[in-house]
Structure 1
Amino acid sequence: MRLVYTDDGSISAYNDAYNDYYHDKKGALIESIYKHIIPAFSIINKPYIRILDICFGLGYNSLLSLAFAKKNGIRLDIYSVEIDLPLLRALYDFPYPKIISNYLEIDRIFDCINNDKIFVDSNISLNVFRGDAINFINTMDSSFFDIVYQDAFSPSKNQLLWNENHFLSLYRILQNRSIITTYSSAKKVRDIARFCGFSVFDMKFNKFKNGTLFTKGIDNINNLDSVQFSYVKL
């Protein structure tokens, strides 16, 4: 894992196996907040939420979600999958932004997910399963999740997590009135998701490339074909 400094001051990394970056080099922290955390918790406003984070990677999406839920009194269960076991062990020393470490005991979280696979703290939990994301999704009950963070490596690098079978599986495990957030704006991905039954919304933020929201049972977001979220502090 080679660390990469991004423009917002946060640190990401480069994955040699997939020949791809974990985040947009304009900002790892900002990308996670604006393309996943804000849309997820803005649209799915419930006292109890279940999230599937595909894949855990450097942990920004899951950790920021735990921090947000802890601060705002939301009961949150996160399920994630990671095939790279050495990566999970290496994250003990990862230089996370203070916006994460101010709310969470990072070492305790990684002790738990490396040894017990699950971290639990009052109203929040994080389950990280080792192995293949497709196999894990196939074991999940129908209508289980409220939110999916579709944050796998790009479609050109990891096609199995962007194809029709994958989105049909996601549709099955999502509840009615649920969303998928993703950084991808590829037409092929949007067309596949639409074919599988999702509504598709363009997601814009400042200097970043557009992302996408896929919704199940939500036909309008502010009656717009595109959405833009303002910043909400953790």
Structure 2
Amino acid sequence: MSKKRPSLASDEAVRRTKLITSSLATDTWFALRARATLHAANHVVSEDRFNRPTPFGDTFNVTQNSLALTVALALARLFDVSDPDRYPIEQQDKASIPVLAHLLKRGDVQDSLAKDARGWHPQLVDGAELGEASFRDAFSAALGLYETYVNSQNYQDAQSRLRRFRTGRLAHHLFDNQPTDLPRFDDLDALADFARQFVQAAVLAVEGHDRDLSHEEEIKSKMDRRFWDAALSAALVANDKAPSVEVDDKNTHN
């Protein structure tokens, strides 16, 4: 059993909280962008006008599979945490949701962030009170969401499947310990939706601005659908004009 590590100093805990929040905002947006692109591709390709044979089908399948793996890996990173019995979660050097949530639970971190929040609106008469109230609401929302995640069997099952897949197939290929209960698209969507809500609340609590990731993802999705419509339509036009191409089945199913 490892020795108990000393608790993080207050200044270091606050520093990590701010750094992780910023990193999580970037990483979560990356995961949401990849998910939006994947969903848009699936939506457009399912339309009747694209329901016909084409030699470009395998190219699309490879692209679709690559996007799905990208989403899975991005989400696995957002929820990454090592064995808490060996390494206290708040002391782990991972920019992940569990680490940030544990840091936010610290009273000294909350006091420091509340003090910062009182300077968010210096131009307003009651700006200090408004800033601290905004922090308290966002902080409570973030931790409330995290408690729901921790206590939800559905969330925990989804995360467990994703973690085993990440460890056994994405980060490594463990030939004697391959995952059998693979993550599902519903798992990825549930975890992505949770990450979006948690990070939005955390960013507001720590940085003082409301980043509406849901709205940003909606805008991204509309643009992605336009892209896939243009790309797939152009592929079919090119296929109609080009001579037939023999596809080697042995090379397309590896």
Q: When the two structures are superposed, what TM-score results if normalisation uses the length of structure 1?
A: 0.28
Bigger share in helix: 2
Bigger share in strand: 1
| Max Rg structure | 2
Q: When the two structures are superposed, what TM-score results if normalisation uses the length of structure 2?
A: 0.26
More relative contact order, 1 or 2 (CA 8 Å, 6+ apart): 2
